[in-house]
Amino acid sequence: MAPTTISEIHRLEGQEAHLRGWVYNTRSSGKLQFILVRDGSGVIQAVASLKNVGEELFQELGRLTQESSLEVWGMVKADPRAPGGFELSITRAKIVQIAQEYPISPKEHGIEFLLDHRHLWLRSSLQHAILRVRAEVIRSAREYLDDHGFLNMDTPILTPAACEGTTTLFQVEYFEEFSFLTQSGQLYNEATAAAFGKVYSFGPTFRAEKSKTRRHLTEFWMLEPEVAYAGLNDIMELEEKLIEHIVGRVLERRAEELKRLERDTSKLEKVKAPFPRLHYADAVKRLNEKGVDFQWGGDFGAPDEAVLTEDYETPFFVHRFPSQIKAFYMEPDPADPKHCLSVDCLAPEGYGEIVGGGQRIADYDLLLERIREHKLPEEAFEWYLDLRRYGSVPHSGFGIGVERTTAWLCGIEHVRECIPFPRTIYRMKP
Ligand code: 4AD
Ligand code: MG
């Protein structure tokens, strides 16, 4: 009999199943032992009765500790009261390893302790739910782009220059030279978009952010679409449709996990395109009306963004930020060149920015001027300037942060729980 998984066990109702997993919990009452088994796909209660398994195995099962590994065979019974709706009546079992005393117990642990034991903490049901939502964010985003004519074109991680400003670069020795860990695949996406039209990259990005906030990691994952012949409005439309799709899929395919997270899904049901659009200058006005001391020309911090989210139930766009606070490649707004054709998408319920993007400078002379103004090393951008020498077109794109999106959808506070092994200013272990 081939082994099955707990998520597939309903197919074997009334038959014998073979499971391979770990002990989540045990409880015994006289001649019965209840073993909660998890296998990564779910949790099931397996019941051993002295009568069915015999004295020897019954004793052996009594030695099982939390997180011991075992293979178990048994009859599958539907039981509406059981978690998952099924129960296993054990006929046979093979203990693979008796686990040592497991450090994570149901009692409350401090966050530092849990992060130190992240390699084990991943096995707990809440972390499980979060990381399964994360996987669905990635799957559904790629699914949407793959189905809409985008080509996945990955970009290098070792790069010769900064994309998002020189202050947050990680420098890496590269033989006789230095390179930098990528902050964003964007510049390369611009090249592949000129080659293939509609592309996206997906990968880890790195920022030496000194910020110790609930939404900053030093290593995070970004999905970055880039489209040739697209302007700011085109890219906002793509963004809202993509986000609507991601949220719909997570609601559909990760309902169990959202329930485990006690997420108020009625809030997510409201996420339908189009999203409201707010000019930066109007966002500043709105902040001032709400009593926040904020002046034109500043960049929004998390608290400012949280105040702006009070006005909306869905994600919304803030567009046309001042050029002075945005990256060198942002196309100026022809209607008012102090502003640029940039856009952030802010998630509601206080979450704030989950996507950043905009329209890129298409003109060679202006781009060169900006590279010089920002004191960027010109020779490292020679290839990037080529894109403006040979068939330059208007083009736009954005980057959606996987961990911030996951935190919002799960309704949890901190991005550090939204990636299997978080890296922050204070932590790169385990
Ligand atoms: O707004 P950002 O910096 O935009 C870019 O990197 C563009 N080059 C992307 C593009 O246009 N192709 O970052 C995009 C998103 C943010 O909205 C946020 O979700 C996430 O990446 N992000 C972070 N997530 C976790 N920790 C950090 N330190 C992050 N910095 C950005
Ligand atoms: Mg940003």
Question: Distances from the Cα of 328 to the Cαs of 45, 84, 426, in angstroms?
Answer: 58, 53, 30
pLDDT at 108: 87
Question: Distances from the Cα of 238 to the Cαs of 141, 230, 232, 274, 386, in angstroms?
Answer: 11, 10, 10, 10, 27
The class (CATH top level) of 118-418 is alpha beta
Fold match, 6-97 / 118-418: no
Nearest CA to ligand 1 atom 28: 216
pLDDT at 190: 98
One-letter identity of residue 143: E
Give the atom of ligand 1 at the shortest distance from the alpha carbon of 356: 1
pLDDT at 403: 98
- The answer to whether the CB of 207 is under 6 A from ligand 1 is yes
- Record the pTM: 0.96
pLDDT tens-digit readout, 169-207: 999 999 999 999 999 999 999 999 999 999 999 999 999
Tokens of 147: 């189905």
pLDDT at 84: 83
- The answer to whether the CB of 398 is under 6 A from ligand 1 is yes
Contact 42, 87 (CB under 8 A): no
Nearest CA to ligand 1 atom 2: 356
pLDDT at 167: 86
Pick the CATH number of 6-97 from 2.120.10.80, 2.60.120.1270, 2.40.50.140, 2.40.50.100: 2.40.50.140
Map tokens 């966002």 to a residue: 283
Ligand 1 pocket test target in 226, 340, 353 with most atoms within 8 Å of CB = 353
Nearest CA to ligand 1 atom 18: 401
- The answer to whether the CB of 342 is under 6 A from ligand 1 is no
CA 291 and chain centroid, separation: 33
Give the angle subtended at the CA of 130 by the CAs of 128 and 131, to the nearest 5°. Answer: 65
Question: Which residue numbers in the chain have pLDDT < 70?
Answer: none
Q: Name the residue ranges covered by the structural domains of the chain.
A: 6-97, 118-418
